[in-house]
Structure 1
């Protein structure tokens, strides 16, 4: 009988290294080997010793099995980042597989749980380049009329988006999203930074990522774009977010009552669930205030310290994604699957061995939630001898 030996997967080493933010030099220094040797590992020109593999596993925080697997095929589109121009290449690369792994986990959950199907009209053949019009058409398609959106995270989850909230520990990253295809099914996944602390800022971040999904080619190669083209893409996503969250006619009716009064915008913030800064910008672009008034209001915002923290920011709790968390809780609480079985299936069926803690973080679960409690044996036929028990007591 022929024994199949597992082969070390160098591309997985590269994937895990980038996921944790290590350069080849960083990893070489930690392992006390040359950069050339790390490159050989990653290109399958050499195989790490068992001792080195243990070091790699401990350092990168992936199980040993992870480095011998090939995950199921995932066709991944470009990842659009909020604040794209200020996000460094290394910081972007760290997130690519994070959102891919999240989508793979979603695909596994869909074997057991019915999620809403992804429902976004195709505007690629649109007869208008007017972002305002496109935002309005999406509102009509989703039956939102001209009312405020009280929780855009929940809204997008009901429309089939895969959303997660993570501590990105990167001040330059507010959110990012990308399109994926797993087993022939389309997904759009968005990851939000949970360290920003403002419900209102998150509203705009999510609407911005929705703008990328609606307006831009998911397979566009951003490396081919100039700086000006980058800026245009970001501006289009911002304009979409503003138009989607603050529909022209109804917002104009409200803001035109006291368009020059910043304290009035505080009242509007409660209704429209959008930051004062974003509303002032929207009012200016809609012609509700002049450029001179706009500049004066911007200076006032800076003087009041509202660039970093606005009124009401610490009153309204930030909204977290719930659908993925609800799915795993539904399965485990109803004994459809244990945490260990879920992790095992992720590894064996999807080629993705992760530590339990990693999946808990990706799904927004409490630490230890996926840990399967050991069940004590009942109706034992044998028992510990009395003299062994007595010895333990003496010790």
Structure 2
């Protein structure tokens, strides 16, 4: 019988995933930080009892610490509001995107998803963010009409999207480019802390901006604070231009551009927050500097920076692509929950608890406990299901 080899780097990976420092884990285990470092660098192997403790503290199966996942080339992870997201907060999310993409690769053995469909814009083109947004709209056939559900739109364009309850409230969304088995993916994780459909629209468009505008392998740690700000501003400008196309939005907003209450009506049509529309109107010259400052003060006085009118009325849109894929496979007996977890472990080197996968995919708790006889070597297409999904205004 072959003896499995302990992989110390998985302790570090799991520790960071859970947001723990070496000091935190050492304290939990009542051992020295030096010993934790030795474990992580394969200079020492924990006893079976110690490994069980580590497994419990980090909430990963013990098999997780004996594996190497399939090779994933991961680009830089872009976060919504980079300047307010600390390094530790960012690091603990990196592998969530990677694990999500590995699960997508597994699902693609059974399910025919839409291919990632984003045109490549040259470095010279990126200087004009407004033009890039218009060209992407044209490429996707969106004309100049409002985007009623950008989460749905990006799923039909092949993006990997998940929605999670993130412990760090400063994180609204993050995304990065991944490469698995030579295939490129772009994965976006949305935070569920701020339950506003309209704010989520902008968050997703912001992450799309990073995909379209910025180098996926740029090392953000090498950037200055001003360069950080520039990257974020470019993504914000793209999001505004993509969601609120210049000519058609100007026609609407110019009717009563100085009336803050009029923006409530525009919010219903354009599916974008009032704050974002006021900013867009100002940058397009529809309102003066003085009016803009007055409207910003009014927004603050009304408490709209945290909660705007209509936020409680429209339900937030959740990603459905991968969730529906798993449901199709299990409910039609193509694979069982046990088979799915086994294959993720044995074929992709990623042992996770069911609860973790259910959360990553937005499945109901306990869903992957489904047991039925699988039918092998079947392909299920959800392209048609996505493309025929009725959009709810």
Deviation at 1:4, TM superposition (A): 2.3
Deviation at 1:128, TM superposition (A): 5.5
Structure 1 counterpart SS, 2:169: coil
Structure 2 counterpart SS, 1:370: helix
d(CA) in 1 for partners of 2:356 and 2:266?
40
Deviation at 1:361, TM superposition (A): 0.2
Change (3 A) 1:152 1:172: same
d(CA) in 2 for partners of 1:258 and 1:168?
39
> Is residue 350 of structure 2 the alignment partner of residue 342 of structure 1?
no
The superposition leaves residues 31-58 of structure 1 with CA deviations (integer Å, 9 ceiling, x where unpaired) of: 0100000000000000000000000001
User: Equivalent of 2:192, from 188, 191, 194?
Assistant: 194
d(CA) in 1 for partners of 2:2 and 2:63?
15
Residue aligning to 2:324: 326
> Is residue 311 of structure 2 the alignment partner of residue 313 of structure 1?
yes
Deviation at 1:125, TM superposition (A): 4.3
Deviation at 1:129, TM superposition (A): 1.1
Deviation at 1:142, TM superposition (A): 0.2
Larger Rg: 1
Structure 2 counterpart SS, 1:287: coil
Give the 4+ runs in structure 1 shifted more than 4 A. Answer: none
Structure 2 unaligned regions, length at least 5 = 374-393
Deviation at 1:195, TM superposition (A): 1.8
Residue aligning to 1:149: 147
d(CA) in 2 for partners of 1:121 and 1:240?
15
Residue aligning to 2:255: 257
Structure 2 counterpart SS, 1:266: helix
d(CA) in 1 for partners of 2:2 and 2:248?
66
Structure 2 counterpart SS, 1:111: coil
Alignment of 1:89-168 (within 5 A): 89-127=87-125, 129-168=127-166
Structure 1 counterpart SS, 2:305: coil
Q: Is the 8 A contact 2:175 2:186 kept in 1?
A: yes
Q: Is the 8 A contact 2:72 2:180 kept in 1?
A: yes
d(CA) in 2 for partners of 1:205 and 1:143?
21
Deviation at 1:171, TM superposition (A): 1.3
> Is residue 9 of structure 2 the alignment partner of residue 15 of structure 1?
no
Deviation at 1:124, TM superposition (A): 3.1
The superposition leaves residues 319-343 of structure 1 with CA deviations (integer Å, 9 ceiling, x where unpaired) of: 0000000000000000000000000
d(CA) in 2 for partners of 1:115 and 1:104?
14
Q: Is the 8 A contact 2:336 2:372 kept in 1?
A: no
Structure 2 counterpart SS, 1:262: coil
d(CA) in 1 for partners of 2:148 and 2:277?
15
The superposition leaves residues 267-306 of structure 1 with CA deviations (integer Å, 9 ceiling, x where unpaired) of: 0000000000000000000000000000000000001110
d(CA) in 2 for partners of 1:124 and 1:13?
40
d(CA) in 2 for partners of 1:97 and 1:120?
24
Deviation at 1:170, TM superposition (A): 1.3
Residue aligning to 1:88: 86
The superposition leaves residues 176-196 of structure 1 with CA deviations (integer Å, 9 ceiling, x where unpaired) of: 000000000000000000121
Q: Is the 8 A contact 1:124 1:215 kept in 2?
A: no
d(CA) in 1 for partners of 2:234 and 2:264?
26
d(CA) in 2 for partners of 1:128 and 1:28?
47
Residue aligning to 2:387: none
Q: Is the 8 A contact 2:173 2:189 kept in 1?
A: yes
Deviation at 1:169, TM superposition (A): 1.9
d(CA) in 1 for partners of 2:363 and 2:292?
43
Q: What is the root-mean-square deviation of aligned Cα atoms in Å?
A: 1.0
Residue aligning to 2:64: 66
Normalised to the residue count of structure 1, the TM-score between the two structures is 0.93
d(CA) in 2 for partners of 1:126 and 1:348?
45
Q: Is the 8 A contact 2:335 2:372 kept in 1?
A: no
d(CA) in 2 for partners of 1:95 and 1:5?
32
d(CA) in 2 for partners of 1:239 and 1:372?
45
Deviation at 1:374, TM superposition (A): 8.6
d(CA) in 2 for partners of 1:48 and 1:326?
40
Structure 2 counterpart SS, 1:165: strand
d(CA) in 2 for partners of 1:128 and 1:308?
32
Residue aligning to 1:216: 214
Residue aligning to 1:230: 228
Residue aligning to 1:291: 289
Deviation at 1:127, TM superposition (A): 3.8
Q: Is the 8 A contact 1:9 1:67 kept in 2?
A: yes
